Chain A
Amino acid sequence: MNLKDCINFNDFRKLAKKKLPSPIFHYIDGAADDEVTYQRNTSAFNEVDLVPNVLRGVENVDLSTTIFGKKLDLPFYCSPTALQRLFHYQGERAVGKAAQKFNTMFGVSSLATVSVEEISSMIDTPKLFQFYYHKDKGLNNAILERVKAAKFDVMALTVDTITGGNRERDLRTGFTSPPKLTLASLFSFATKPMWGINYVTRGKFELPHLQDHVKEGTSTATSIGNYFTKMLDQSMNWKDAENLCSKWGGHFALKGIMSVEDAKRAVDIGCSGIMVSNHGGRQLDGARSPFDQLAEIVDAVGDKVDVICEGGIQRGTHMLKALSLGAKACAGGRLYLYALAAAGQAGVERALNQYRVELERDMKLMGCTKISDLNRKNLRFRKT
Chain B
Amino acid sequence: MNLKNCYNFEDFRKLAKKKLPSPIFHYIDGGADDESTLRRNTDSFNDCDLVPNVLASVGKPDLSTTLFGRKIDMPIFLSPAAMQRLYHPDGDRASARAAEKFNTFYSMSSMGNNTIEEVSNISGGPKLFQLYVHKDRSISDDLIERSRRSGFDAMCLTVDTLVAGNREKDHRTGFTTPPKLTLESLISFAMRPQWVFNYLTGKKFELANVKKKTDKGTNIAKSVIEYINEQYDPAMGWKDAEYCAKKWNGPFALKGVMSVEDAKRAIDIGCTAVMISNHGGRQLDGSRSPFDQVKAISDAVGDKLEIILDGGVRRGTHVLKAIAAGAKACSFGKMFLFSLAAGGQQGVERLLQNMHDEINRNMVLMGCKDLKELNSSKLIYRNRK
Contact = CB atoms under 8 A, between A and B. Distances in A.
Interface of A: 33-34, 36-37, 40, 159-160, 162-166, 168, 171-172, 234-238, 240-241, 254, 256-259, 261-262, 265, 283-289, 292-293, 383-384
Given A162-B58, A162-B364, A284 B315 contact: no
Contacts of A254: 54-55
Contacts of A34: 8, 314-315
B120 interface: no
B320 interface: yes
A384 B53 CA distance: 25
B315 A160 contact: no
B162 interface: no
A59 to B, nearest CB: 40
Given A172-B5, A286-B321, A383-B383, A240 B55 contact: yes
Contacts of A160: 52, 54, 365
Nearest to A36: B46
10 contacts: A36-B46, A160-B365, A163-B361, A240-B55, A258-B52, A286-B45, A286-B46, A286-B317, A287-B49, A288-B380
Contact of A283 (B5, B55, B365): B365
A40 B382 CA distance: 11
Contact of B52 (A164, A168, A284): A284
A259 B51 contact: yes
Contacts of B57: 234-237
Nearest to A283: B365
A283 B317 CA distance: 11
Given A283-B365, A285-B317, A259 B55 contact: no
B72 to A, nearest CB: 23
Given A234-B58, A292-B49, A33 B315 contact: yes
Contacts of A265: 55
Contacts of B314: 34
Contact of A284 (B8, B50, B383): B50
Contacts of A164: 361
B221 interface: no
A287 B7 contact: no
Contact of B7 (A37, A163, A171): A171
B200 interface: no
B237 interface: no
Interface residues of B, number: 35
B385 to A, nearest CB: 7
A166 B356 CA distance: 13
B366 interface: yes
A288 B51 contact: yes
A283 B361 CA distance: 9
A166 B385 contact: no
Q: Which of B51, B54, B320, B383 has the most CB of A within 10 A?
A: B54
Nearest to B358: A166
Nearest to B315: A33
A261 B385 contact: no
B197 to A, nearest CB: 31
B364 A234 contact: yes
Contacts of B45: 286
Contact of B50 (A237, A240, A256, A288): A288
Given A166-B361, A172-B5, A262 B54 contact: yes
B55 A241 contact: yes
A329 to B, nearest CB: 21
Nearest to A234: B59
Contact of A259 (B53, B316, B358): B53
B56 interface: yes
Nearest to B54: A159
Nearest to B7: A168
A287 B51 contact: yes
B382 A292 contact: yes
Interface string B48-71: 011111111111000000000000
Contacts of B51: 258-259, 287-288, 293
B362 interface: yes
A159 B59 contact: no
Nearest to A39: B46
A289 B55 contact: no
A292 B56 CA distance: 23
A27 to B, nearest CB: 16
Contact of A163 (B5, B320, B364): B364
B382 A284 contact: no
A241 B57 CA distance: 11
Contacts of B52: 160, 258-259, 284, 287
B317 A284 contact: yes
A159 B366 CA distance: 11
B54 A287 contact: no
Q: Which of B52, B316, B321 has the most CB of A within 10 A?
A: B52
Contacts of A166: 357-358, 361
Nearest to A254: B54
Contacts of A171: 7
Contacts of B380: 288, 292-293
A160 B58 CA distance: 13
A59 B304 CA distance: 66
A256 B315 contact: no
Q: Which of B8, B55, B57 has the most CB of A within 10 A?
A: B55
A255 B54 CA distance: 10
B306 to A, nearest CB: 24
